A and B are shown apart, each in its own frame.
Chain A
Amino acid sequence: MTYVVVVNDEDQYSIWPEERALPAGWADAGHRGSEDECLAHIERVWTDMRPRSLRERI
């Protein structure tokens, strides 16, 4: 199964099956592949895991 890396407004990442429509509030982060490939990609790009709103407040 092919997944797509998705990201929400809080800069939180996740994965979603490619065959299904993107859920509301999530954007395509521009990476596709197997589950493992997508997770490895997230491992690289999601460096600050704090939600954006919190990061901006502190």
Chain B
Amino acid sequence: MTTVEHGWQPLRPGNLETAPLTYGQRALWLLDRLTPGTALHNIPWVLRLEGPVDDTLLGECLRTIVERHDILRSAFRASVAEPYQTVERDAVFGLTVTECAREAVEDLVQAEARGPFDLERDLPVRARLLRWAPDGCVLVVVFHHIACDGLSLPVFEHELAVLYTARAEGRTPRLPKPPIQYADYAAWQRERDPREELDYWQRRLAGAPERVTLHTDRPRPPVRSTAGATHLFDLPSEVTGRVRALAMAEEVTPFVVLFTAFAALLHRYTGQEDLVIGSPVAGRDRIELEDLIGYFVTVLPLRTRIGGGESFHELLAAVGRDVMEDLDHHRAPLDMITDRPLMNVAFGAHGAQDTGPLRLGEASGTPRVHTTDTAKFDLLLSVFDDGRRMRGEVEYATGLFDAATVERFTGHWLTLLAAAVEAPGTAVSELPLTSGDELGAAVPVSREPRTCLHERFEAVAALHRERIATDITYEELNARANRLARHLRSRGVRPGDRVGLLLERTPRQVEAVLAVLKAGAAYLPIAPETPPERVAFLLGDAGAKVVVADRAGEGVTVGLDEEEAAVSAHPSDNLCLDVPVEATAYIIYTSGSTGRPKGVAVTHANVAELFAATEERFSPGPDDVWTLFHSYTFDFSVWEMWGALLYGGRLVVVPKEVARSPEHFARLLQEEHVTCLSQTPSAFGQLVGLLEEEPRVLDDLRLVVFGGEALQPHHVRRWFATGAGPNARLCNMYGITETTVHVTAYDITPETPFDRSVIGRPLPHLSAEVLDRHGRAVPDGVPGELFVGGFGVTGVYVGRPGLTASRFVPDPARPGARRYRSGDLVRRLPGGDLEYLGRIDDQVKIRGFRIEPGEIQRVLDAHPDVRSCVVVVREGRLLAYVVPRDGWPGAAELRAHLAARLPDYMVPSAVVPLERIPLTPNGKVDQRALPDPGRGERPYEAPRGPAERALADALAEVLKLERVGRDDNFFELGGDSVRSVQVAGRLRRAGYALPLDVLFAHPTVHEAAARVTPAEDGPPPEPFSLLGEADRGRVAALDDVIDAYPMTSMQLAMVYHMELEPERRPYHNVNSYRVATPLDEEALTRVVAEAVERHPVLRTSLDLVTFGEPMQLVHRTAPSPLTVEDLQGADQQAAITALVEREWATPFDLRTAPLFRVTAQRLSPTAFQLTLTEHHAILDGWSFTSLVAEILNRHALLRDRPDTPKAPPPRSRFSRFVALERAAAGSAESVAFWKERLSGLDGTLFTGLGRTATVAHSIDREVDGELSRAMSRLAVSAGASRKSVALTAHLIALGRVTGRTDVVTGLGVNGRVEEEAGTEALGLFLNTVPFSVSLDGGTWIDLVRRVHRDETAIMPHRRVPFATLARHMRDWNLDVNFGFNRFHALAGVRIDDERIGCAPTMRYEPNHFTLSIGFVQDPASDRALLIADYPASKLPHTVAADYADSFMRAVHAMTAQPYSNYREELFP
């Protein structure tokens, strides 16, 4: 065993301000960046308290804990090298107190628990007290995992109890200072040499599989969803007792026993003999770490090898040894191990979680960790052991698994565990998974047929003499077949012989088949175009001496054309030979995977059993019309032929040319009144494609049977959509030649969902069992090989005893009988239906993932330009072949379509256009006829433009490649998540910002490069540096002016519109809030003064006339604009309204700073009204709410701790934005970009309305949490942002109310400098850019994607001022504006509101648009608010209301059915 130098010197405190992240934190931070804005890493701690609680004291105690543990007041930021943590000593932590109704508590806890953290800006902990009664409240403390773990919670609880109880009792709490801080540990960990541990894990994981390939209920989405659920269960006490006993006897921990059973189950589920299972370990193996709060836990990749044949006992011993050694190496930087496996499945065992009730002074309660409905792994099984009882929890990804699947999985684990601990000597492969009731297949039933096929035909022909059989009557057909049979006998054919048929698909083929059977022989069908050497092989292999062909020729015994006269000379009555039903009726050759075709001999009895078993289901009869669509070399033809001829129906023999032409075939179906149709899905797909373009109603059609290939859901969906078969019943049948045509059947109706390849249940004469590699039945839901037993099982492969013996094996269920091992992978769904998963030998794995080409085909087929397609695997490569509908959309477009919907490993490496999909004579896809696109299909193409070059260089450097081309793919080159961070770092040095998820969603160089933005780090410009010479001279004369810069065009526009409409004063904003906290006048005075001091924009005045251009002047000082009133005892509502009206009526003097006023009105000892008035030109929405937050937070802080020092001024400045805007206006590239985009665009959407605005009106609609989350999910699956989703709904709603398909809207864009701590700076960073889209139909998701693409394209050019842009438009007008706002959480203070976190009680924010839309995210929950502002004189109320309703409908429609066409919403 390797020993690792642990360095047992104590860790010492270093008073660190910044530290690197620990390895664990770094991995977590990366995950957080990849899936931002989720609650995935939240640890919501909830305490329901009974008894009196002092809110203020509780807040103080929490603050003390945050101050004791620096990690809780740290921010986590990226740097060029790697992320780091830094202690925010000035950060304000406060307890928010919310008074609420008892019933609302659970929802509020949920909202608090699910709210995301922004690790760069927020503290990694927040707290809220929900109070509904003086002695009833719930404390919710939400930690981010990066600063906390499960074992931190007892530390936190202990400190909280000690601090609160002591202070409540007037004592000084005794809590020793933590010996070190987490940062000390991080620094220590990162200073250690990790090489030895790395080496250990490299060795340990070399060649490990990429993941545990659990079969999921739904395909894996491209971007992992974090949605999860938890299934709870108890371990029976007799099992836990045995677990402990076995653990003790084997000298391992109970964990090892439980883990081994888990690994064994995964082995049984997946067949994997090599598994990597994640397992969390505490990571607190040093005494200094015990009382720290922080993220110490690590998930170790435990690798286990299981053959299946070993006993559980042997496996346990091996696992025990491995785990011991793995644990010794737990501190390794696992994220640095290259090619490490993903841990998608994990197992953890934990000690007692329940610490009992917690006492806070006189109150007490029992803490719990609230569920966040997220899943970190595909599946995580945890066992909690309090020393007596064990209980279990399975956390699983709901995007992958159904609850029922997980419950079954849990049941299987418990059964396996119970059996294993009871009899540890049992082989792992023999351990039971179920108690037995899940199994048990139906017993096949025989109808014991006594007559041969031709004899039944003769009886039917006698009954239906005059009915048409093919193109002639039954009587004639029987007579002709009798004559030919006699003719064959005259050529030596005897019962038991085989007769080769080489016939075109004409009615004569049917005669010949009948004749051969009447002669007592079996027919061997051969397609006439078969090459002579293959014909010779087939005849020889089957032992056929007589050959019947259309024309005489070499090797032909009977040429029907030539011998017509001789044939008709024979008598026409039935021959009545004695032919046993066990005699072979036909021999059909199937291509073996090993080259040599094998002949399957099928008996009369086999076919008779098939029809006996299906009669009830399909009731075939004399009125039916069947098509003989398939070649007689494919046994689907057997079904078609006898389906008609055994029941007096008519058989329409479809000539080969017609069968190959969907146009002609569709016409035939209609003209011949076909009732029963059999189709391979490939042929059916072509038929559906045609019916979509040339609609036709086939109302005689009553039955469509599918077989021969896996049926894809889109075929079915599209068929129902055409409405072509109003009376047709669809039945998906899975079949095997070896078990006589069909095996299972599944009825499909428009109501039953057909979202996977469900093949139903076995026909009554057959059994279907799903077995694992060891021949044991697998439980429901688990994939295995399908074995078919019963009366359709045929006899032999002609002349192949060995092969026959290997495929037809003893059926233990029925003495002496055989069952056929199909080589097909299926699983039994809950309810009993089977799902077809593919061929076992075709199991393709790419990069360790099991690929199902059908999944890919399904998605590709949904592309509007794809008429049909096929996806195949060749030499380990995925290839897609596409028949385009009209024009070829391009391989890149199709790959992008796939990449947006499927995991990257499922995106084909080549997409090849075809004119038609080649089909075999049997109607299946002819794989061999698909062209090979060749490996060299992606030649090196040099990167274009600076961004592509920079990205290609960064990739080459990080991935150590000589050169990287613009079409190269990050993953194919060997990239992974760790390397993506390095690439982003290199790019940043080159001056570009690359969001981390971009490379994942768009792995090719040119696609990713289109999404990088110039990094904008940089200092603000020097004071006065943006001024011309003359202006600099003028400003020098002004003493108190410390900086000056020109106004931005948006500021000018606002001032201009305000001057233009003095009555309405657009952009003079008044917002009034009711704040539920005691007002401290002194504190507030200080806060407002400080704010004016901190923020240059609050000391800024505007001067439109003195300078060469409109100027903003930053003054050294400005007076505090605060007024405080006391309204206690007054008519408060009237006073507030009066104030708001007064504020609105009092315009600012632009030349006097600040352009901002604050009034506080005391309402009660615990509440006040805060009213803020601002000129919009100095503050955008984000800045405004930031300012409100700053005022309220600092007020609370200074009130409670007046000695708190001042906050430093923000590092960034508004002036930097001014400089950037000026640069953008002068950028030739940007100007050209816009010119092309905007030329001739018409922003006037509402005509004939008044142009002067009067009073502003406003309506709003709430988007509730559920709908809002659905928007997020849509955004994720479209690879777009929430903003794009909302913008899409906006555009559709505009289209709806204007009746236009070319809508134009203004789009508010944020010109803030990214990637800086600079978001603290206040100012008007806004610009409005025109945004247009043509709505000419398509799916919602594509529209979202298109909108997102356009938005992304705008990003680099977004700062070109609207004034410059407007010049390119038809006139300068824009009627509509859309803004997407995500404002600050007003943390630490509570604003009483009715709807949404930051909405004020009274709001007055007029603007100059005819219709101005705001989509505002509630910072405290998932909810959002749609706000439509419009002047009543410009826009009728009904139009605005229509707009808002349309918007909401659009959001509902697109989230419910992203793949439906949005046209329906646009023009209902």
Contact = CB atoms under 8 A, between A and B. Distances in A.
B and A form one assembly: yes
A15 B775 CA distance: 13
- If over half of B's interface residues share one DSSP class (helix, strand or loop), that class is named, otherwise mixed; here it is loop
A3 B8 CA distance: 59
Contacts of B496: 58
B580 A42 contact: no
B795 A51 contact: yes
Contact of A58 (B495, B811, B815, B818): B495
A57 B808 contact: no
Contact of A57 (B580, B805, B814): B580
A16 B809 contact: yes
A47 B583 CA distance: 18
B810 A16 contact: yes
Nearest to B309: A1
Interface string B283-310: 0000000000000000000000000000
A33 to B, nearest CB: 13
Nearest to B803: A39
Interface in B775-833: 775, 795-796, 798-799, 801-806, 808-812, 814-818
A16 B808 CA distance: 11
B582 interface: yes
Interface in A36-53: 38-40, 42-43, 45-47, 49-51, 53
Contacts of B814: 25
A7 to B, nearest CB: 10
B805 A46 contact: yes
Interface string A12-26: 111111001001111
Contacts of A45: 801
B801 A49 contact: yes
A14 B801 contact: no
Given A23-B810, A26-B810, A58-B580, A14 B805 contact: yes
B1257 to A, nearest CB: 81
A14 B808 contact: yes
A10 B798 CA distance: 16
B802 A8 contact: no
Nearest to B795: A51
A45 B802 CA distance: 10
Contact of B801 (A43, A51, A53): A43
B805 A39 contact: yes
Contact of A24 (B799, B801, B804, B812): B812
A49 B584 CA distance: 12
B799 A49 contact: yes
A15 B816 contact: no
Contact of A15 (B495, B583, B809, B817): B809
A17 B815 contact: no
Contact of A17 (B775, B799, B805): B775
B819 to A, nearest CB: 10
A15 B86 CA distance: 70
A6 B805 CA distance: 9
Nearest to B494: A58
A21 to B, nearest CB: 9
B1451 to A, nearest CB: 59
Looking at B796, B809, B816, the one whose CB has the most chain A CB atoms below 10 A away is B816
B795 A23 contact: no
A42 B808 CA distance: 13
Classify chain B's interface size: 20 to 34
A15 B815 contact: no
Interface string B75-114: 0000000000000000000000000000000000000000
A39 B802 contact: yes
Contacts, number: 75
Given A14-B810, A16-B809, A9 B799 contact: no
A49 B814 CA distance: 21
A14 B812 contact: no
Classify chain A's interface size: 20 to 34
B802 A25 contact: no
Contacts of A15: 805-806, 809
A50 B522 CA distance: 13
B496 to A, nearest CB: 6
B777 to A, nearest CB: 14
Contacts of B810: 6, 8, 14, 16, 23, 25-26
A5 B812 CA distance: 15
Nearest to B603: A54
A35 B796 CA distance: 19
B737 to A, nearest CB: 17
A27 to B, nearest CB: 10
A45 B818 CA distance: 19
Contacts of B802: 39-40, 42-43
Given A16-B809, A35-B806, A57-B580, A42 B801 contact: yes
A18 B1219 CA distance: 84
Nearest to A16: B810
B582 A8 contact: no
Given A6-B810, A39-B802, A42-B802, A24 B582 contact: no
Nearest to A40: B802
A14 B810 CA distance: 7
Contacts of B817: 8, 25
A40 B806 CA distance: 11
A51 B806 contact: no
Nearest to B809: A14
Given A24-B816, A26-B816, A49-B796, A13 B801 contact: yes
Interface in B1143-1160: none
Nearest to A41: B802
Contact of A14 (B495, B583, B775, B818): B818
A15 B805 CA distance: 6
B806 A54 contact: no
Contacts of A58: 495-496, 580
Given A15-B809, A23-B811, A49-B795, A10 B816 contact: yes
A39 B817 CA distance: 19
Contacts of A54: 580, 582-583
A26 B819 CA distance: 13
B582 A46 contact: no
Nearest to A58: B496
B815 A25 contact: yes
Contact of A13 (B799, B805, B812, B816): B805
A16 B582 CA distance: 26
A54 B802 CA distance: 21
Nearest to B580: A57
Nearest to B579: A58
Contacts of A20: 775
A47 B809 CA distance: 18
Given A39-B806, A49-B804, A23 B812 contact: yes
Contacts of B809: 14-16
Contacts of A43: 801-802
Contacts of B808: 12, 14
Interface in B1221-1272: none
Contacts of A23: 810-812, 815
B582 A51 contact: yes
A50 B810 CA distance: 17
A16 B810 CA distance: 7
Q: Which 6 A-B pairs have the closest CB atoms?
A: A25-B816, A25-B815, A46-B801, A24-B815, A39-B802, A43-B802
Given A13-B805, A24-B816, 9 more contacts: A10-B816, A14-B808, A23-B810, A23-B811, A24-B812, A26-B816, A39-B802, A45-B801, A49-B795
Interface of B: 495-496, 580, 582-583, 775, 795-796, 798-799, 801-806, 808-812, 814-818
Interface of A: 5-6, 8-10, 12-17, 20, 23-26, 35, 38-40, 42-43, 45-47, 49-51, 53-54, 57-58
26 contacts: A6-B810, A8-B810, A9-B816, A12-B795, A13-B801, A13-B804, A14-B810, A15-B805, A20-B775, A23-B811, A23-B815, A24-B815, A24-B816, A25-B810, A25-B814, A25-B816, A39-B803, A40-B802, A42-B805, A46-B805, A49-B798, A49-B799, A51-B582, A51-B795, A53-B582, A54-B582
